[in-house]
Amino acid sequence: MNHKLLEILEQLKPKNILVIGDIILDKYLLCSVDRISQEAPVPVAWVKDEENILGGAANVANNLKELGMSIELIGQIGQDRSARKISQLLKEKDIKADKIISTQDFTTIKKLRVVSQKQQLIRLDYEKNEDLKPELEEKILEYLEESFPSYDLIIISDYAKGFITKNLAQTLIRAANDSAKIIIADPKPSHMDYYKNVSLITPNTIEAEAIVGIKAESAEAAEEIVKALNRELNCDVVLTRGAQGMLILESRKIYSVPPKSKKQVYDVTGAGDTVLATIAACLANGIGLKQSCELASIAADVVIEKFGTATVNIDEIKNYFQL
């Protein structure tokens, strides 16, 4: 099996993929904690370093870029310090971002994590969760009408922060279906009704349980969840289940992908984005969903050994096969 997956990995060709969704800056303050404050019973965090990393839809785009894909990213940022940092990182990664909406009245979404010895002490979120303004939505749709034929695959990375509207999602899905393109959605439960007739959704267990109201306490219950999602949205489903691997419903058939062996889990932040990106890169290259998920499982196994929001490149996946 590993030999076959390695062959598939080496055959991946650059494909033109659109990633559209909520763009987030993941900021980490790396600290040392060795005493309690005299002002209050709280730890004193001595900031030694900081890191800025692409998050949300930008993390999906970054993962795809590391896998050799050609990416266009569309979302919204403000005109603040966080926006400038995101723009700088996207330029460094050579991710096409000239159609990202940037407005002065929008607060760039930022997640600030204070970390000591690879453990999060607190997370501070900067966001307003404002819905995309109708005039901006219209501007995006006009551009997509012209550029849509150039995409090999579309990803909607919906963190329910306001950028993805129901009209935007449904318009993209109709356009993809009319042109026989694969469109994948990774939505939050509150937006699940946006995604009827999408090609594929990739929820994790917590999200899927919230959507259908069933606890995945057994293999049978997990199967009921993916069946319910398929009935409601008329799409294929990849349910990511952490230590239980993945459960796939494709063309009304259900099968599973077992988890890979793990050395040490540092952080699962962004692992779902890595899975989504790997599946998308494979599907865009004509690889079947099951084998795409097999490779995505390996990519996830690599990324969770890293700290924070991270990516996986092809060389790292190749190295995995040699372990």
Query: 267 vs 210, which has greater pLDDT?
Result: 210
> Domain 2-25+55-108+128-321 adopts which CATH fold?
UDP-N-acetylmuramoyl-L-alanine:D-glutamate ligase (3.40.1190)
Q: Is residue 151's pLDDT more than 90? A: yes
Give the three-class secondary structure for 135.
helix
The pLDDT of residue 94 is 95
109 pLDDT more than 60:
yes
Residues 116-145 have pLDDT tens digits of 988 899 999 999 888 899 999 999 999 999
Residue 312 predicted with pLDDT over 90: no
Residues annotated as part of the active site = 273
User: What confidence tier does 268 reach under pLDDT thresholds 50, 70, 90?
Assistant: low
Stretch 301-311: mean pLDDT, rounded?
A: 76
Mean pLDDT on 298-317: 80
In the predicted model, is pLDDT for residue 71 greater than 80?
yes
- pLDDT greater than 90 at residue 8: no
pLDDT-derived band at 308 (thresholds 50, 70, 90) equals low
pLDDT computed for residue 261 by the predictor:
56
C-alpha closest to that of 44 among 35, 53, 52: 35
As a whole number, the mean pLDDT across the chain is 91
pLDDT band for position 265 (cuts 50, 70, 90): very low
Q: Give the tokens for residue 307.
A: 């700290």
pLDDT band at 10 (very low <50, low <70, confident <90, very high): confident
Q: Which two tokens stand for residue 204?
A: 């994790």
pLDDT at 22 over 70: yes
Residue extents of the structural domains in the chain? 2-25+55-108+128-321
State whether residue 60 is helix, strand or coil. helix
CB-CB neighbours of 262 under 10 Å: 12
pLDDT for 51: 94
Three-state SS for the chain is CHHHHHHHHHCCCCCEEEEEECEEEEEEEEEEEEEECCCCCCEEEEEEEEEEEEEEHHHHHHHHHHCCCEEEEECEECCCHHHHHHHHHHHHHCCECCCCEECCCCCCEEEEEEEECCEEEEEEEECCCCCCCHHHHHHHHHHHHHHHHHCCEEEEECCCCCCCCHHHHHHHHHHHHHCCCEEEEECCHHHHHHHCCCCEECCEHHHHHHHHCCCCCCHHHHHHHHHHHHHHHCCEEEEECHHHCEEEEECCEEEEECCCCCCCCCCCCCHHHHHHHHHHHHHHCCCCHHHHHHHHHHHHHHHCCCCCCCCCCHHHHHHHHCC
Position 270 pLDDT exceeds 70: no
Residue 266 reports pLDDT greater than 60 = no
Q: pTM of the predicted model, to two decimals?
A: 0.93
Tell me what the mean pLDDT of segment 188-208 comes to.
94
